[in-house]
Amino acid sequence: MRFAVCHRTEYHYGRAMSDGYTVAHLVPRATPRQVVESTSLDLDPSADEQTEHLDAFGNRVMRIGIHRPHDHLVVTARSVVRVEVPQSVVGGAQPTWEQTADAVREARGDLACEVGPFAALTPSTPALPEVVDLCADVMLPGRPIGETVQALSTRIFTDFAFDPEFSDVSTPLADVLRARRGVCQDFAHLMLACLRANGLAARYVSGYIETDPPPGQPKLAGTDASHAWCGVWAPGIGWFDVDPTNDQMPPRRHVTCAWGRDYTDVAPVRGVVIGPAAAQSLSVGVDVTSLP
Amino acid sequence: MQYQPDASRYDEAVAPDGSVRQGWRVLSAALASVGVGELAERQRQADRMLDAEGAGHLVHDLTGRGVASRPWRLDPVPMLIEQAEFDLLARAAAQRVRVLEAVMADLYGERTLVRTGVVPAAEVAASPSLRMSAGLQRPARWLVQHAVDMVRTADGTWRVLGDFTDSPTGLGYALLNRSITARVMAEPLRAAGTSPVGVAAAVLRRALAALAPTGRTDTRTVVLSGGSEHPSYVEHSYLAVQMGLHLAEGGDLVMRQDRLWLRALGGLEPVDVVYRRLEDAGLDPLEPRAQGVNGVPAITWAAQRGGVVLGNAFGTGVGEIAAVQQRLADVAGALVGESLLLRPYAGEPLATTPVYDAAQGLVPGRVVLRLNTVVGPDGIWVMPGGAGRVLADGDHPAAPTAERTKDVWVVGGARSGRAEAGVSASTATAQAAAVQQVDFGASVPKRAADALYWMGRAAERAEVAARAARVVGAQVEQDPYLVTLAGGGWAMGAVALLRSAQGAPQRSDAVDGAPLAEVLQRELAATRATVAHQVSSLVNEARSVREYLSTTTGRVLGRLARVVSDLVRTDAAVDDLDLILIDLAALAGLATESTVRGPAWRFLDLGRRIERGIALLGSVEAAVGQAVDPLAFQPLIEAVLAANESLVAYRRRYRSDVELHAVVDLLVRDDVNPRGLAFQLDRLREHLASLAWPEGGALVEQAVRATFADLDDVVVRGRRLSVDGLVLAARGPLLQLDAAVVARWFADPVNPMVLGGR
């Protein structure tokens, strides 16, 4: 499958800022199942300094500096990617989740570096008692890892309501657990917390999903959103993805942008402006279009 | 001197058989000659000196980790460490520096500790202290400064509580403590043969300078502080002064094109090395998991691209995390092939050391020792001294609380604090360089100029208000009938004078309803409150520009802060106001006589002169603003003269009853009266010429023309109106000048705002 992704972030600062700095994870990375055919990043106003590098997780990061008065910033990232949907990992010979946890703990050498950091209980993915409770009847003894992850995804999908009004990027997991609602970032964090609390290594994947318009209506520009899901590691399988927001494993209409321990590692855009106090506004539009 | 420690625990002063230990023999003799009663006085002296450094009421705790703050108090009785023992502790501290340097290089580089399972990857990665971007471009050196906490346990052995690698505090506090014990305990310090520590500032400065990117000449190092709200601000400011470096706050620095720049009055000036006193978490608000906006956006970009060097490097906080500290013995084996010289503390009972107690003399207390190390071009240097934290009952040694601190004296050896590779003789030269005053002729950060300007204004306004309250208060005290004199004419004028001194608008209803005496007392109280408020602003502004002010100035400010807190608590007006006026006069004298005439001084004086001009015109306006019976006019105009410190001058010159035209001459037009308007305008003219700022100069010339306009020309309905006209015409340009100074020199908006995306 081929997709064209356009991610447009528009800030209005209210007044002229003297300096602005932006760190962006907006350019999709290549993966074993994803080829990035083309990318471009447009800036308005243009940058006074701009660099690209790979971060510690191998994601493509843009750093942008603007050092003249400017009262707005529009960052438009466009990419064309070819994605191959992997085989399902449920069924067939595979380790149990306990064996997977042992393998994570005992990993040495390059594997320890590749897998170990994603077993970390970060501030966004704490092992709260409610997290442990949620896993209790999912993490059954001897259950194969693929089935376990699938069951956990279904549990989150069933027990939690998707509610874009409820949370933002700074809503703590405890609130999400209390209210039983949230958005894709929250469900990804929740799933990571569940897996990591049980010694598994799982990463936060940020990217995009192609959506369908409501029945009978044409698709409108900018109505998609950036999306998030999880990648889980198991010995003999490697990394495989699961999308608890849509209870989809493997994810089928997804474009990977970047991955990290949690949202903070791969926030699409993080910026600081220096200038007078003013009321800012932010609007974000994402379009994912299927290409022939 | 009575001192009876528990014989079952090791004690620093007394051996189990009751004999006094070697190092303590000299000290206890010296203490005996000082006398226990005298120690109480030494304690009070020490408290006063800490106050003067701004430490008495500012220091929160040693590391600022959310523990309830206690006031900073220094025990006049030091903690003694024998040279031979110090050598062991110093070797242990230096070893830890080497191990921790290797830890940083590994965790942000090859990660052999993770690959071999010595340190679990997940535990390290779970800590926000592991800064993922710190590994992108590794610095030549991670640690330039380090601190370590140690305790002696009841069995006499030393144990380590933990290391500080992020932005370690302690070195400055140790120097500050020593500067005080050197005065309050001068004889014992000398008698004990204590190793000097003063070279520390020079060693640190040299170590920082050595970090500068290669190929740069005339490099500049700044101390980056979190500002006066930071728990360790006193130390930041003290070290900046000791090293003769600029104290910069986040807003003073800007990253552009991979370089770091200081926002100075003359434009952006490059910075090569940053001694960061901001922790990793607060250094760069752009970093993931950053806290607050006190840092410098993108400073880590510049550091990664070699435009600026940070000491300590960004990410060094990872050396403090449990995953590393708890496994340090294994880590040391794996990375440098050594076993640690000192074992970690595991909750054992602690040894005791004599602590001064006002009621009981010397009592056994438990103390945590903090040693400070500096890594310079010649190796690792361990300061031969340090700070001891006296634990209160129930305090855990690892919690960063202190009931009091102790100066730590290394005795019994003539050597300096070298531990491994030594510090060369050139540090003696460096020391001489480091004690220089800050070069006022050099660049001044805009924020500092801003603070100095407001300091000047606050000092002058405090003086104006204090003098007005003093003069009016004394007049009423001497002659209570003044209040009803001439139908209340004097009282209404006095109220107007007080309100002008407060900088408050004149109100026609100021005396409505209430009896005049009551109104007058109310305005006197409000004027005293103005004094208190202005002195607080003065002290606050001064706190952020400490490196521009002399030590004596610091003492005067400390005293002012104390006197002012009395002023708002009590009604004892006149005497307290006299004390404040004397301190304010001392401050003004120090500004004139002990400050190099550079741009920093000019902005301080600019503020003072503008404020004095505006206040003077206000007082003249107040005195003549209403029709007053001639009987009341005489005492009122005397009050105006006295409020402007010109009554004596007037009497000497005119030897007559006070007359308005003569008063106007003296206060407004006489350019040899340093309290007069013409004199202020002359000074302003000089400052603006020196700043080469014609727009400001034009405003001063407008004020000059108004000042010397022929009063007869503006007489329309009598003399008072003409003086009113003069006041208005001269004050307008001064108010405009104030606004213009702020807009031209300071108004760089520098609030960073963090923006998210989706």
pLDDT at B431: 44
Work out the pLDDT band at B221, boundaries 50, 70, 90. very high
- Burial class of B341 by CB neighbour count within 10 A (0 to 12, 13 to 18, 19+): middle
Q: Does B115 touch chain A (CB under 8 A)?
A: yes
**In A, residues 16-75, which contact B (CB 8 Å cutoff)?**
18-19, 21, 23-24, 48-49, 51, 53, 55-57, 63, 65, 67
SS3 B411: strand
pLDDT at B403: 67
Give the model confidence (pLDDT) of A11-21 as tens digits: 999 999 999 99
Least reliable range by pLDDT among A238-247, B96-105, B275-284, B622-631: B622-631
pLDDT at B143: 98
pLDDT at A35: 97
Q: Does A129 touch chain B (CB under 8 A)?
A: no
pLDDT at B55: 64
Give yes or no for residue B631 having a pLDDT over 90: no
pLDDT at B67: 44
Over residues A227-252, the mean pLDDT reads 96
Which chain A residues are closer than 8 Å to B757 by Cβ? 9, 24, 267-271, 282, 284
Q: How many angstroms separate the CA atoms of B442 and A38, rounded?
A: 52
Which chain A residues are closer than 8 Å to B297 by Cβ? 19, 21, 272, 274
Give yes or no for residue B520 having a pLDDT over 50: yes
pTM (predicted TM-score): 0.88
Contact between A272 and B752 using a beta-carbon 8 Å cutoff: yes
Which chain B residues are closer than 8 Å to A119 by Cβ? 121-122, 125
Contact between B749 and A275 using a beta-carbon 8 Å cutoff: yes
Give yes or no for residue B57 having a pLDDT over 60: no
Over residues B630-635, the mean pLDDT reads 82
Q: How far is B446 from chain A (nearest CA, A)?
A: 15
Q: How far is B103 from chain A (nearest CA, A)?
A: 16
SS3 B344: strand
Q: How many angstroms separate the CA atoms of B471 and B457, rounded?
A: 21
| Nearest Cβ partner for B756 among A112, A122, A169 | A169
Q: Does A178 touch chain B (CB under 8 A)?
A: no
Q: Does B292 touch chain A (CB under 8 A)?
A: no
Q: How many angstroms separate the CA atoms of A168 and A184, rounded?
A: 10
Total CB pairs under 8 A between chain A and B:
149
Mean pLDDT comparison of A58-62, A91-95, B223-227, B597-601, highest-scoring range: A58-62
Q: How many angstroms separate the CA atoms of B27 and B406, rounded?
A: 15
Give the percent of chain B with pLDDT over 70.
88
The residue with greater pLDDT, A203 or B62, is: A203
Q: How many angstroms separate the CA atoms of B709 and A70, rounded?
A: 47
Work out the pLDDT band at B564, boundaries 50, 70, 90. confident
pLDDT at B426: 39
Which chain A residues are closer than 8 Å to B754 by Cβ? 270-272
| Nearest Cβ partner for A23 among B111, B122, B286 | B286
Task: Give B412's contacts (C-beta < 8 A, 6+ positions apart).
Answer: B22, B23, B82, B83, B84, B193
DSSP result, A190-246:
HHHHHHHHTT--EEEEEEEE--PPSTTSPPPTTBB-EEEEEEEEETTTEEEEEBTTT
ipTM: 0.95
Give yes or no for residue A61 having a pLDDT over 90: yes
* Contact (CB, 8 A) for A211 and A220: no
Chain A residue with the nearest C-alpha to that of B121: A116
Q: How far is B739 from chain A (nearest CA, A)?
A: 17
Mean pLDDT comparison of A212-226, B250-264, B618-632, B739-753, highest-scoring range: B250-264
SS3 A31: strand
Which chain B residues are closer than 8 Å to A123 by Cβ? 128, 289
- Burial class of A289 by CB neighbour count within 10 A (0 to 12, 13 to 18, 19+): middle
pLDDT at B62: 37
Q: Does A3 touch chain B (CB under 8 A)?
A: no
Q: How far is B262 from chain A (nearest CA, A)?
A: 14
Least reliable range by pLDDT among B329-333, B445-449, B651-655: B651-655
Q: Does A113 touch chain B (CB under 8 A)?
A: yes
Which chain B residues are closer than 8 Å to A270 by Cβ? 286, 288, 754-757
Chain A residue with the nearest C-alpha to that of B256: A67
Helix/strand/coil (H, E, C) string of B597-653? CCHHHHHHHHHHHHHHHHHHHHHHHHHHCCCCCHHHHHHHHHHHHHHCCCHHHHHHH
Which chain B residues are closer than 8 Å to A284 by Cβ? 757-758
Across all residues in chain B, what is the average pLDDT? 87
Task: Give B445's contacts (C-beta < 8 A, 6+ positions apart).
Answer: B246, B248, B252, B262, B263, B264, B265
Q: How many angstroms separate the CA atoms of A41 and A5, rounded?
A: 12
pLDDT at B47: 83
Q: Does B37 touch chain A (CB under 8 A)?
A: no
| Nearest Cβ partner for B288 among A21, A264, A282 | A264
Q: How many angstroms separate the CA atoms of B578 and B584, rounded?
A: 10
Q: How far is B688 from chain A (nearest CA, A)?
A: 27
Q: How many angstroms separate the CA atoms of B113 and B624, rounded?
A: 82
* Contact (CB, 8 A) for B409 and B192: yes
| Nearest Cβ partner for B757 among A108, A120, A268 | A268
Q: Does A4 touch chain B (CB under 8 A)?
A: no
Work out the pLDDT band at B63, boundaries 50, 70, 90. very low
Contact between B132 and A116 using a beta-carbon 8 Å cutoff: no
Mean pLDDT comparison of B342-356, B541-555, B705-719, B744-758, highest-scoring range: B342-356
Give the percent of chain B with pLDDT over 90.
57
Listed in order, strand segments (DSSP E) in B241-331 are: 246-249, 253-256, 259-264, 267-271, 273-276, 309-311
Contact between B751 and A277 using a beta-carbon 8 Å cutoff: yes
Over residues B582-609, the mean pLDDT reads 90
**In B, residues 120-179, which contact A (CB 8 Å cutoff)?**
120-126, 128, 132-133, 135-136
The residue with greater pLDDT, B650 or B303, is: B303
Q: How many angstroms separate the CA atoms of B672 and B665, rounded?
A: 11
Other CB atoms within a 10 A radius of the CB of residue A52 amount to 12
Give yes or no for residue A187 having a pLDDT over 70: yes
pLDDT at A271: 94
The CA R_g of chain B, rounded to the nearest whole Å, is: 30
Q: How far is CA B310 from the centre of its chain?
A: 23
Q: How far is A88 from chain B (nearest CA, A)?
A: 28
Over residues B528-557, the mean pLDDT reads 86
pLDDT at A225: 81
Contact between B117 and A19 using a beta-carbon 8 Å cutoff: no
Other CB atoms within a 10 A radius of the CB of residue A201 amount to 28
Q: How far is A22 from chain B (nearest CA, A)?
A: 8
| Nearest Cβ partner for B125 among A9, A105, A261 | A261
| Nearest Cβ partner for A122 among B115, B126, B254 | B126
Q: How far is A55 from chain B (nearest CA, A)?
A: 7
Q: How many angstroms separate the CA atoms of A22 and A5, rounded?
A: 20
Give yes or no for residue B424 having a pLDDT over 90: no
pLDDT at B594: 81
Residue B85's closest CA among B421, B409, B420?
A: B409
Give the model confidence (pLDDT) of A126-165 as tens digits: 999 999 999 999 999 999 999 999 999 999 999 999 998 8
Contact between B756 and A267 using a beta-carbon 8 Å cutoff: yes
Other CB atoms within a 10 A radius of the CB of residue B7 amount to 12
pLDDT at B177: 93
Q: How many angstroms separate the CA atoms of B729 and B620, rounded?
A: 13
Q: How many angstroms separate the CA atoms of B695 and B610, rounded?
A: 15
pLDDT at B85: 95
pLDDT at B488: 84
| Nearest Cβ partner for A108 among B116, B133, B254 | B116
* Contact (CB, 8 A) for B448 and B598: no
Give the model confidence (pLDDT) of B196-216 as tens digits: 999 999 999 999 999 999 888
Q: Does B289 touch chain A (CB under 8 A)?
A: yes
Which run of H or E residues covers position B96?
helix B83-107
Q: Are strands B246-249 and B74-82 parallel, antiparallel or unpaired?
A: unpaired
Q: Does B297 touch chain A (CB under 8 A)?
A: yes
pLDDT at B572: 56
Give the model confidence (pLDDT) of A112-125 as tens digits: 999 999 999 999 99
| Nearest Cβ partner for A267 among B115, B126, B757 | B757
| Nearest Cβ partner for B750 among A104, A196, A274 | A274
| Nearest Cβ partner for B121 among A23, A48, A117 | A117
pLDDT at B718: 45
Q: How many angstroms separate the CA atoms of A255 and A257, rounded?
A: 6
Least reliable range by pLDDT among B134-138, B399-403, B543-547: B399-403
Q: How many angstroms separate the CA atoms of B617 and A203, rounded?
A: 70
Contact between A112 and B114 using a beta-carbon 8 Å cutoff: yes
Work out the pLDDT band at B509, boundaries 50, 70, 90. low
pLDDT at B487: 80
Q: Does A276 touch chain B (CB under 8 A)?
A: yes
Give the model confidence (pLDDT) of B333-378 as tens digits: 999 999 999 999 999 999 999 999 888 889 999 999 999 999 999 8
Enumerate the β-bridge partners of residue A77: A7, A41
* Contact (CB, 8 A) for A89 and A240: yes
The set of long-range contacts for A163-171, using a CB threshold of 8 Å and a minimum separation of 24, is: A169/A263, A169/A267, A169/B756, A169/B758
Q: How far is CA A63 from the centre of its chain?
A: 19
Packing angle of the helix pair A145-159, A184-197 (nearest 10 deg): 140
Least reliable range by pLDDT among A101-110, B58-67, B72-81, B198-207: B58-67
Give yes or no for residue A285 having a pLDDT over 50: yes
Contact between B122 and A271 using a beta-carbon 8 Å cutoff: no
